[in-house]
Amino acid sequence: MKRKAFIIILIIILIIFFFPQESKEFRIRVVAASDSVADQSEKHAVVRVIKEELKKYNQDDIINEINKNIDLLEAKIAKVLRERKFQISITKQNYPTKEWEGKVISGGRYKTLLVVIEKGEGKNWWSILYPAYHNISFEDGGADIEFEFYFFEKLRKIFSK
């Protein structure tokens, strides 16, 4: 009985400690229509337009600047995509942990400027908008980002024995 209680308490602590916390940082994510060369090129054209526009914004208040100017961003993206359908929104997205130049960039749930071209079935590009990592970006395969927690996997292996 004590062992069960200990395991339950341990699991609760691990969930609280390792469950992805919502972050105050802001990210950009652009999801291509497909993995075709043309669609990936189009995705990068959208990224360039967004980055150029964001350079004009007050970097100390970037989230409010994006909120204020989302219609302008949408119009600029529409110009690049011509007649293609896309969705632009500010939403919360999960991201995996990444490493960059020996530094670990925490995964978790981040407020995100999300642009999905057509059905968004291609590789996605994402970047971080906070000073320590501004302008680095990542390419991830597939439109959905999934990740697992190391400790949960270890616990699952222990309990499945």
Domain boundaries, the chain: 29-159
pLDDT confidence tier of residue 14, bands split at 50, 70 and 90:
low
Give the tens place of pLDDT for each residue, 83-140: 899 999 999 888 888 777 777 777 888 888 999 999 999 988 877 765 444 555 555 5
Give the tens place of pLDDT for each residue, 33-64: 999 999 999 999 999 999 888 888 887 787 88
Measured CA distances, 75 to 26, 69, 70, 72, 118 (Å): 21, 10, 9, 5, 16
- What residue type is 129 in one-letter code? L
What's the pTM value of the predicted model, to 2 decimals? 0.68
Query: What does the DSSP assignment read for 100-127?
Result: ETTEEE--EEEEEEEEEETT--S-EEEE
